[in-house]
Amino acid sequence: MTLLFYSTVDSAARWQAQLERLTRELDIRVWPEIGDPADIDYALVWRPEPGLLASLPNLKMILSLGAGVDHLLGDPQLPRHLPIVRLVDPHMTAAMSEYVTLQVLRLHRRDLDYRAQQEAKDWRELDQKNAADRRVGILGFGELGQDAARKLRALGFDVAGWSRSAKTAAGMATYAGAAGLPLLLARSEILVCLLPLTPETEAILDARTLGLLPRGAALVNAARGAHLVEEDLIAALASGHISAAVLDVVDEEPLPADHPFWHHPRIVVTPHVAAFTNPATAAPIILDNIRRFEAGQPLRNRVDLARGY
Ligand code: NDP
Ligand code: OXD
C-alpha cells in the first residue's frame, strides 16, 4: 500500500516515523517526491494544492491531517466519489478543551483588564462574577464542542450548545438550527465558536449575530477565520458591545504584520494552535481507517459531502 503525505505545516519526518513504527505495510511518499502518481492508494493531506488529488488515478481514500476538511472541499477538482475521512483524536479533543478552558477562564477572570492595570501599575480589585452566573455558549456541539462544554460545566459555568441537529446534554441547555441561534446568542456572555467551515457557517459571526449577544459579551474563535467578519468584530469592540475576543484563527494565516488584530488591546491572538495534530496519537487512528478500508469495514469519521463536514 502506498501513502502520499502532503503538508506544508506538519512534520513529514515525525509522521513517517510514527507510521513506520506501527506498520511495514505502507510505502510512504512525501510530496513532492511522490514517484509514479499511479502508485498512490491513500493520501494523508493538509491543504493539498488544488488538483493534486485528482491527479492520482488509483487513489482509494483521502485522509485529512486535521479535524476540519474545508481545506479539501474548496478544491474544485476534488475527487468527490472517494471516501474522505477527518481526524478525530481524543488527544486533540483534550488539547482543544484545554485551549477553550484557558481562554474562557481568561475572559471570565478579567485577565485582559488586570494585564492593562499591571501596565498602568494600578493595584485595584475589579468586580467578579461566580462561574455559575457566567453563561457560556458553544457554537458547534460536536466532538470538540461537547468535550469543551463538559469541562467548562465541571468548572461550574452555565453552558449551552448549538448544533444543526437537536441534542440533549446533562446539565446544559441545547439549541439547534436557525431558530435556536438567536436564543443561544442572547444568553451567551462568552461565545465560543467550534463550528466546521461550510457555506452555511461562513461569516456566521457578523454584525447581526454579534449584535444579538448581550452587551459586553466576549468571543473565542478556535474554528476558522472565515467564520468571523473581521471588520464587524473591530466595530463591535469599538462600540463596546463586544468587550474582548480571543482568536486562534484568522482570515489570512499567518496574520499579516500590519493587521489591526496584532495591537488591539482587547484582542488576544494565537497562531492556530488550539488543538495541534500529534503524530504519535494520530498515526494509529489513520492506520485504523486504512485497515478498515482494506478490510471493507465501515470507516470512522467519514465526511458527509452533502453536509460539508
Ligand atoms: P464535528 O463535526 O464533530 O462537530 C461540528 C458541530 O458543528 C456539530 O455539532 C454540528 O451539528 C455543528 N454544525 C455544523 N454545521 C452547522 C450549522 N449549519 N448550524 C449549526 N450547527 C452546525 O467537528 P469537530 O468538533 O471535530 O471540529 C469542529 C471544527 O473545529 C473543525 O471543523 C475545525 O474547523 C475546527 N478545528 C480547529 C482547530 C484549531 O486548532 N483551531 C483544531 C481542530 C478543529 P450536528 O451535531 O447536528 O452535526
Ligand atoms: C484542524 C485544525 O482542523 O488544526 O484539525 O485546524
What's the pLDDT score for residue 278? 93
Distance 179 CA to ligand 1 centre (A): 18
Query: Which entry of 29, 134, 187, 224 is annotated as an active-site residue?
Result: 224
Compute CA distances 123 → 107, 243, 266, whole Å. 19, 21, 20
- Mean pLDDT over 207-228 rounds to 98
pLDDT tens per residue across span 66-98? 999 999 999 999 999 999 999 999 999 999 999
Distance 48 CA to ligand 2 centre (A): 14
Please tell me the number of the ligand nearest to residue 66's CA: 2
What's the pLDDT score for residue 97? 98
Q: Give the mutation target among 65, 144, 300 for probing the ligand 1 site: most ligand atoms within 8 A of CB.
A: 144
Q: Which backbone phi and psi does 205 adopt, to 5 degrees?
A: -95, 85
Q: Which residue in this structure is represented by grid cell 463591535? A: 236
User: Nearest to residue 251, comparing CAs of 275, 276, 235, 232?
Assistant: 232
What's the pLDDT score for residue 2? 98
68 in ligand 2 pocket by Cβ < 6 Å?
yes
Q: Give the mutation target among 143, 253, 277 for probing the ligand 2 site: most ligand atoms within 8 A of CB.
A: 277
pLDDT tens per residue across span 228-261? 999 999 999 999 999 999 999 999 999 999 999 9
Q: Is 224 a catalytic residue?
A: yes
Element (H, E) at 13: helix 12-22
Q: Is 81 a catalytic residue?
A: no
Distance 175 CA to ligand 1 centre (A): 15
Classify 298 as helix, strand or coil. Answer: coil
What's the pLDDT score for residue 142? 98
Q: How many whole angstroms separate alpha carbon 30 and alpha carbon 64?
A: 15
Compute CA distances 218 → 8, 210, 213, 233, 260, whole Å. 33, 9, 9, 10, 18
Residue nearest to atom 5 of ligand 2 (CA): 66
What's the pLDDT score for residue 226? 98
Please tell me the number of the ligand nearest to residue 309's CA: 1
144 in ligand 1 pocket by Cβ < 6 Å?
yes
pLDDT tens per residue across span 102-161? 999 999 999 999 999 999 999 999 999 999 999 999 999 999 999 999 999 999 999 999
Assign 167 a pLDDT band (cuts: 50, 70, 90): very high
Distance 68 CA to ligand 2 centre (A): 5
Distance 164 CA to ligand 1 centre (A): 10
Element (H, E) at 192: strand 190-193
Residue nearest to atom 33 of ligand 1 (CA): 68
248 in ligand 1 pocket by Cβ < 6 Å?
yes
Burial class of residue 241 in the structure, from the number of CB atoms within 10 Å of its CB (0-12 exposed, 13-18 middle, 19+ buried):
middle
What's the pLDDT score for residue 57? 98
The mean pLDDT value of the chain amounts to 98
Element (H, E) at 115: helix 111-119
Contact 161, 174 (CB under 8 A): yes
Q: How many whole angstroms separate alpha carbon 254 and alpha carbon 252?
A: 6
Q: How many whole angstroms separate alpha carbon 110 and alpha carbon 204?
A: 26
pTM of the full structure? 0.98
